[in-house]
A and B are shown apart, each in its own frame.
Chain A
Amino acid sequence: MITRFAASVLFALLLPVAANAITVKSVQGPTGVDTWLSEEHALPMIAVNISLPAGSAYDPSDKPGLANMMASLLDEGAGDLTSDAFKQALESRAIRLSASAERDYVVVTLTTLKENADEAFRLAALALGHPRFDAEAVERIRVMLQASLKQDDEDPSKVAVKAWYAAYFGPHPYAHPTAGTPAGVAAIKSDDIKNFAADHLVRGGIKVAVSGDITETQLKKYLQQVFLSLPAKSVPVVPKPVDAGKPASHTIVRNEAAPVALFGSPAPMRADADFIPAFVANYILGGGSFSARLMDQVRDKRGLTYGIYTQLNDFRSASILVGSVQSDKGKILTAIDVTKSEMAHFAKDGATAKELADAKTFLTGSFPLTLDSNAKIARTLNGYQRSGLSADYVEKRNAMIQAVTIAKVNEMAKKYFDPTRLVVVIAGTPAMAASAPKPPAAANTVPTATR
């Protein structure tokens, strides 16, 4: 019978980490655009991610939302094709093209069947090289974006994210909300969009990742078609923030049954040798869903939340450790208090050898799950490119994680997981109560409220 095994037996079954199935090739060509290719011929399709240095950090401070509005208009007409004609050209061949703004980059995704690749790259070239920004489309998309901002305002999570970045980055442009603000979106003129596109849809700094049924030779041809006609200019990197992340606590007064809190502090830059060890440390404290300490203490032991997570977010000019927790309004302050005391405990005493071993097993073992489809491969590789990694990172990554020592994790815990440095934003008014955290329940009791 299968019922005989005990949990302890399972740990003995741990096997060596499976090798990665993909090979990443850096493609060189006359366009000079940084391009990675993972050839995969099992399915007759191609997934492409293109990042252009045109993110919301470049928005003028009185027009937040400009980058996102430009991105939203990239599939709304190009060359001699009006919006409707362009959409018909895409849809008649089931080509998917979309774009959205992040803080440093606008990310364009293109998905096509192999048989339609010529047309897909032709339309992508038109969209990036000759977008029209017709008045009809601009006004229609403006109204759509305004409605979407209104809808975002229904969601305390989105409200918290927006407010947290504003609080953490202050005057630095990473504070701009990527989707903009109602006033910002209202103030954007057609010429603003055209000028922004002229400055930012340029060849310097573009990152391209491709996965699927395509050879290097074919890809090189398409790269020339899409990128050679773009101006060979560059966009300056956003300056490093000087005064960001001053510890503070803010509450956004709203009537929410379950407020959302975001908390965060500075983290090592992606290129810093501390990044990988800090990433492993983060898994132990708050990154590892069911196995993380915060989930265990805040949810399982005390029933204060449905979920709590932390992660490292790296940008070109800053890096942050940021976490989130949602809880009933009567419990949110306690949830934050427990989070802080767990963080302090982690900083002081560090991780156990078993926690580190478990973290390494998960982080290395789950890696192939992020690379099991063309869409995920293109997205993942493009993310690595944005982070400034090299094309052999996929091969080296698990060894880097295996090399992290307990001493290093504990050093990271002390250096970066400091509750006194947190910027905290709560979207939703907490109900009174909550002074000292309740003591943890006995190990075997179950959560009493949210999970």
Chain B
Amino acid sequence: MKPGLAPALAVFALLGVAGGIVIATEGLTPSDADAAPAASASVKASQFTLKNGMQLVVIPDHRAPVVTHMVWYHVGGTDDPPGLSGAAHFFEHLMFRGTKAVPNGELSKIVARNGGQDNAQTSHDYTVYFQRIAKDRLPIVMGLEADRMVNLDLSEPNVVTERDVVLEERHLRIDSEPQAMAQEQMQAALHLSHPYGRPVIGWEAEIKRIGRAEANDFYQHHYAPNNAIVMVVGDVNPDEVKKLADEKYGAVAVRQLAPRIDEPPPPRLGDARLNFALPGTKLPQLLRMYRVPGYVKSPRGTAEAMEVMSSILGGGSTSRLYKALVMDKKLAVEAGASYDGHNRGPGSFIVYAVPRDGVSFDTLEAAMDQIIAGMLRAPPEEGEFNRAKTQLVAEYTYQHDNQYLMAQDYGTALSIGLTIEDVEDWPNRIRAVQAADVRKVAQTYLVKQESVTGRMSPKTGP
């Protein structure tokens, strides 16, 4: 994320009761991280291609007089040059360093003065910049994004100073968070030499190697209209947005892009284990990551079956893991699973549990393995199977209740190579999953050699 909000927001979320901070509205606790999730049959997206190759997607949502404007670049942590992990994320920071027309830091202030919010986010696969603002201010934010797409001030002091900011961010977000540190190590062990094994924020020693020349090179070969998708979701109609986009983005020149390398994941021949005793850990945790297929490179229906399997195994209080480990055997305080398949490369499937006082990791892991083995042994029962599908489908509606999350849903899909139809048809594909499919993906993909198991123990002694 962009330089900005996280640590203090965490505090304020706790101050609870009445204060809002993100958008400074009194009397509530606003947040775009709405838990509420997704789907509406009435949503109709329009897609255009501008003359310079820029993709434009418009999704009307007339419930409030606001828009979410996003620019998705096809560049992310996987595009970091060798030895320069963190380059894409570092560059995201530099995009706030200003242009001749809009000096350093001014962009966010202009957005705020117009009643809007802005931020950015870098993943392994994409980098996205967004503003949420009253609909009549759309021309302003489009102008700002078009400007920084080509006119960035990459002077030496800007790059050098921002590097310190990024290092500081790494210290705060990773190096002082035991869970984040452990997960970073586990991902490296899971993906081996594939770029997903490198942290998006970068290894400290490599962040330090990124300078002005590297930044400029990155800018010249990845930031261009022919490498971007603009999404506008909100109280607009497609034709007016198309006209505006032509006017604001249409003249930005095409650039020669660096080819994107699509590295195949290397084979894994054995499972891996990592034991942590990191400073600051107070609560022990058992975490296992599996390398599994994502939506892009697997046969249609595979990822959907993984979603259903994830929900049955660890999606809530009636899931198998919670019921067995927390309710029945009383070995764990908390247990669950989650699946992330929205990647260009492999997806990941995570199973976790927090042991009760006095329960050993060995005992807990053995019980967890037993539950996982059950997924492979037989197809799910009708009740849990239907419950999982019902919840996933409803999730789509709940998520699309939130304009930002809806935009994020479409944007992520498009940026990893899926289509608008893929997004809108998702509930139907979940409904089409069969019980036998769930067992099959469990058998095929929940295999030990595709996994890394981490045990986080509280640090004892000084």
Contact = CB atoms under 8 A, between A and B. Distances in A.
A6 B283 contact: no
Interface residues of A, number: 120
Contacts of A326: 7-8, 11, 172
Nearest to A290: B108
Nearest to B135: A18
B114 A365 contact: yes
A87 B318 contact: yes
A368 B64 contact: yes
A445 B98 CA distance: 12
A374 B15 contact: no
Contacts of B402: 372-373, 375-376
A42 B397 CA distance: 11
Interface in A398-451: 444-451
B58 to A, nearest CB: 17
Contact of A368 (B101, B110, B134): B134
Given A88-B318, A326-B7, A379-B28, A94 B395 contact: yes
B19 interface: yes
A143 B356 contact: yes
Given A84-B318, A289-B4, A361-B114, A10 B27 contact: no
A372 B234 CA distance: 9
A102 B15 CA distance: 9
8 contacts: A91-B390, A143-B333, A290-B105, A306-B4, A307-B8, A313-B15, A314-B18, A444-B104
A361 B395 contact: no
A7 B28 contact: no
Interface of B: 3-12, 14-30, 34-36, 40, 42, 61-66, 97, 99-106, 108-110, 112-117, 132-137, 139-140, 143, 146-147, 150-151, 157-158, 161-162, 164-165, 168-169, 171-172, 175-176, 178, 235, 248-249, 251-252, 279-283, 316-318, 323, 326-327, 330, 333-334, 354, 356, 383, 386-387, 390-391, 393-395, 397-398, 400-403
A228 interface: no
B23 A370 contact: yes
Contacts of B248: 2
A227 interface: no
Interface in A86-122: 87-88, 91-94, 96, 102-105, 111, 113
B36 A111 contact: yes
Contacts, number: 350
B112 A289 contact: yes
B417 to A, nearest CB: 28
Given A369-B117, A369-B132, A383-B29, A2 B24 contact: no
Contacts of B386: 92
A270 B19 CA distance: 11
A19 interface: yes
Nearest to B28: A383
B147 A3 contact: yes
Interface in A2-31: 2-7, 10-11, 13-15, 17-22
A15 B113 CA distance: 11
Contact of A140 (B103, B252, B327): B327
A136 to B, nearest CB: 8
Nearest to B178: A154
The 6 closest A-B pairs by CB, nearest first: A365-B115, A94-B394, A451-B3, A375-B36, A383-B28, A372-B64
